[in-house]
Chain A
């Protein structure tokens, strides 16, 4: 039994970042350095760690931010442990790799040093298998969103052995000193944000097989409450990352949406051929940017044939254009009313995805679920994904209208909405301070 007395007050002065040369490593290191930490960058070779210095300067737009930052290799680990407060792991999303490095860290870490992983969804408990009791008591997932200087959301997934008051201190310090929107999550696959977000992205990817990429990105585009269209988002994060997340959830989670996380077969085929999205610019993903005779143009994937065809002009779908027109003038409630009332197959497809998002998001809160309250789901979808929060969308639609529509599409009605309809929960439901759902509804 660990008591509070056994653990010192949490401090984050000296931070060692493992895997500092990756995007998340350098981004996290920049966040820690900007927050006043003394940072050491660790990579396989010193030169790789040094490359992260330039990344940190670019992120913070400052050269002085890297003053005093040390670059080292894994061989230096024992020496770097002197006075370290946090060892922050940002290696590739590979359980074996992470376990291996944590075994090494466990052997040399000071008894009061915290260890964290930036993993976006692997099991925290599994990562700590075979580790010492002290290691487990000091271990948490700190899932920063990419890039951390733009996306302020962070999921904190404490190992079950970490005392609750230490978890609270950690959350507090991330909020106050590092300006994070903190969401405490259970150790469930993909945690909260990626579970909710990639359910929608995968659904759109599946629908693209039938309806095409451009149409789906138009129907579920920024006007429905996001900074970027869904399939363009998958290209940005990488098809390999998308696959890793949905495979992990599909294999380890059973919920009210069976099959939702099955990777579409066409994506699997293209991943095997090296189509990973923007990170493989030559082969692309849903989109591929090309240059011919000095002219730049974009081609778009036809999932049914696995061929790329020239991307035509933006699709003008009447109900979508009408809603964008309303959103552009800040008339969001009218825009949402139009969205709910629009007729035809296209409107049905778009509505089912958005209502599915509301349902799935609000159902992830509560006992046995990944977050404690629906506000946590709202917080991570706004600050981690730049998506309109589910509760804010339900407010705009109207609670009873949302319930009726969910039933019409055979989607699970979250208990929260039933409670709100009974008057047991105050409305508007969306209640995060200083955030407005309106900003996500693009014109």
Chain B
């Protein structure tokens, strides 16, 4: 049996901040998020044994690579700390978490620090959209295409329409729920923005089409954000709990994980899944694997989900892939209020990528931090009452890399 992996909490920067306007370098994001995490957990920096960074494209957005080394800058005690950086497009944060948790499971280290970070407001939206195109097969799918990703995820919606039928009003409802939840999240990028279902259903100069069936209200945000969480072995978690007079059994663990990669091109994905009830079968398999490892029979053993709604169509996909409905029937869960904050199985109580924001390489870490907040009853205004087990789904590319975690108590 591998060592269990405990989640000790962490810190998230305010996703509404524009660090370029503050004239800040990405190193400032590292400094603030790590210092914030050390302060909020009370973990002495000298206890940290390894550091992992999830980041998608700092080389493009900030002309800066070698991000693991920036962890060393964040505290004098980190001099010499082994570090590295992980990249899998929008799933980069989850890959960093997987690497850190594998090291804990293997007994290599007792305390790992995982930082997810992306600084995106350094460039205008067209140039940023082009950078994001490198998460697809750039030459084939993105070169010379303005905003390639909305178009790719618009096609995900089109595939649903072809196979099962899809109404845009259900996508609008997904958007409105995420924005409404984000209003309860004091660190959400859109907490002060205006959004209603009526607006999400409108197609006017303020809600124009970005690509295919994707309108502005269907999109997640361009976000500057950094997140830090600490993962620990049982040995360190016991020490941590004892020092704080906590019950070790109430410290959340990563109960299960799933990780699969599909072909990079969207056409190839669709061709591969032609005869499968699931449009993205590898995403489905990552969910099934995580549930199996967590010994969760099905999605109803989960109390809330933080999913990857880079566009409303990806959340629509997540609903049936998680098994809330039969394949192709995600609309039922939307219509019946199942995914509402006070529903039977809330999705994205935080506001998700649409409401909270989407610092690309940081999102997977943010999702796990939000899962931690939920199962420790510290999510404040967006707390799902009595949440014991929370699942995350983090996707890189057009459904290419899928990572799932189940966080909670045994």
Which residues of A are interface residues toward B (Cβ below 8 A)?
A: 30, 34, 57, 60-65, 67, 149-150, 152, 179, 222, 227, 324, 327-331, 433-436, 438-439, 442-443
User: Known: A61-B206, A330-B29. Is A179-B23 also a contact (CB below 8 A)?
Assistant: no
- CB <8 Å contact, B24 and A67: no
A-B complex: 8 closest residue pairs judged by Cβ atoms: A330-B28, A330-B31, A443-B23, A60-B194, A434-B186, A34-B194, A329-B27, A63-B204
User: Known: A331-B31, A434-B187. Is A63-B198 also a contact (CB below 8 A)?
Assistant: no
- From 174 to 221 in chain B, residues with beta carbon under 8 angstroms from any chain A beta carbon are 183, 186-187, 191-196, 198-199, 202, 204-207
Q: Residue A328 contacts which of B14, B24, B36, B191 (CB distance < 8 angstroms)? A: B24
CA A434 to CA B186, docked complex, whole Å: 7
- CB <8 Å contact, A63 and B202: yes
Q: Does B73 contact A (CB under 8 A)?
A: yes
Query: In the complex, what's the smallest C-beta–C-beta distance from A29 to chain B, in angstroms?
Result: 12
- CB <8 Å contact, B206 and A57: yes
Q: Number of residue pairs across A and B with beta carbons under 8 Å?
A: 79
Report A-chain residues with C-beta under 8 Å of the C-beta of B194.
30, 34, 60-62, 65
Q: Does B158 contact A (CB under 8 A)?
A: no
Q: Name which residue of chain A comes closest to B207, CB basis.
A: A62
CA A436 to CA B73, docked complex, whole Å: 20
In the complex, 10 of the A-B residue pairs with CB atoms within 8 angstroms, ordered by the A residue number, are A34-B194, A64-B196, A64-B204, A65-B199, A149-B192, A152-B192, A327-B23, A330-B27, A330-B28, A443-B22
User: Known: A65-B199, A179-B191. Is A442-B28 also a contact (CB below 8 A)?
Assistant: no
- CB <8 Å contact, B23 and A442: yes
CA A222 to CA B21, docked complex, whole Å: 11
User: Known: A149-B192, A329-B25, A443-B28. Is A64-B202 also a contact (CB below 8 A)?
Assistant: yes
Q: Name which residue of chain A comes closest to B74, CB basis.
A: A330
CA A3 to CA B21, docked complex, whole Å: 50
Q: A57-B206, A64-B202, A65-B196 are in contact. List 15 more A-B contacts (CB 8 A).
A: A60-B194, A61-B193, A62-B207, A63-B206, A64-B204, A67-B198, A222-B23, A327-B23, A329-B73, A330-B25, A330-B31, A434-B186, A436-B14, A436-B32, A439-B17
Report A-chain residues with C-beta under 8 Å of the C-beta of B17.
439
- CB <8 Å contact, A328 and B186: no
Query: In the complex, what's the smallest C-beta–C-beta distance from A33 to chain B, in angstroms?
Result: 8
Interface size class of B (residues with CB under 8 A): 20 to 34
CA A406 to CA B204, docked complex, whole Å: 56
CA A328 to CA B31, docked complex, whole Å: 11
Query: In the complex, what's the smallest C-beta–C-beta distance from B77 to chain A, in angstroms?
Result: 15
- From 4 to 34 in chain B, residues with beta carbon under 8 angstroms from any chain A beta carbon are 13-14, 17, 21-25, 27-32
Q: Residue A62 contacts which of B29, B31, B186, B199 (CB distance < 8 angstroms)? A: B199
- CB <8 Å contact, A327 and B24: yes
CA A70 to CA B29, docked complex, whole Å: 46
User: Known: A63-B202, A328-B23, A328-B25. Is A179-B14 also a contact (CB below 8 A)?
Assistant: no
Report B-chain residues with C-beta under 8 Å of the C-beta of A63.
202, 204-206
- CB <8 Å contact, B32 and A438: yes
CA A316 to CA B278, docked complex, whole Å: 61
Query: In the complex, what's the smallest C-beta–C-beta distance from A166 to chain B, in angstroms?
Result: 24
- CB <8 Å contact, B186 and A439: no
Interface centre among A67, A149, A439, A442 (most CB of B within 10 A): A439
CA A227 to CA B22, docked complex, whole Å: 8
Q: Name which residue of chain B comes closest to A150, CB basis.
A: B192
- CB <8 Å contact, A62 and B206: yes
Q: Residue B28 contacts which of A62, A329, A435 (CB distance < 8 angstroms)? A: A329
Q: Name which residue of chain A comes closest to B30, CB basis.
A: A330
Q: Name which residue of chain B comes closest to A59, CB basis.
A: B194
Report B-chain residues with C-beta under 8 Å of the C-beta of A30.
194
- CB <8 Å contact, B186 and A330: no
Q: Residue B25 contacts which of A34, A64, A443 (CB distance < 8 angstroms)? A: A443
Q: Name which residue of chain B comes closest to A176, CB basis.
A: B381
Report B-chain residues with C-beta under 8 Å of the C-beta of A442.
22-24
- CB <8 Å contact, A434 and B192: no
User: Known: A222-B23, A443-B22. Is A328-B28 also a contact (CB below 8 A)?
Assistant: yes
- CB <8 Å contact, B24 and A330: yes
Q: Name which residue of chain A comes closest to B35, CB basis.
A: A330
Q: Name which residue of chain A comes closest to B192, CB basis.
A: A179
Report B-chain residues with C-beta under 8 Å of the C-beta of A222.
23
- CB <8 Å contact, A64 and B199: yes
Report A-chain residues with C-beta under 8 Å of the C-beta of B31.
329-331
CA A290 to CA B29, docked complex, whole Å: 38
Report A-chain residues with C-beta under 8 Å of the C-beta of B28.
327-330, 443
CA A222 to CA B24, docked complex, whole Å: 12
Report B-chain residues with C-beta under 8 Å of the C-beta of A150.
192
Q: Name which residue of chain A comes closest to B196, CB basis.
A: A64
CA A439 to CA B31, docked complex, whole Å: 12
- CB <8 Å contact, B186 and A433: yes
Query: In the complex, what's the smallest C-beta–C-beta distance from A97 to chain B, in angstroms?
Result: 31
CA A61 to CA B202, docked complex, whole Å: 12
Query: In the complex, what's the smallest C-beta–C-beta distance from A326 to chain B, in angstroms?
Result: 10
CA A30 to CA B194, docked complex, whole Å: 9
CA A249 to CA B186, docked complex, whole Å: 34
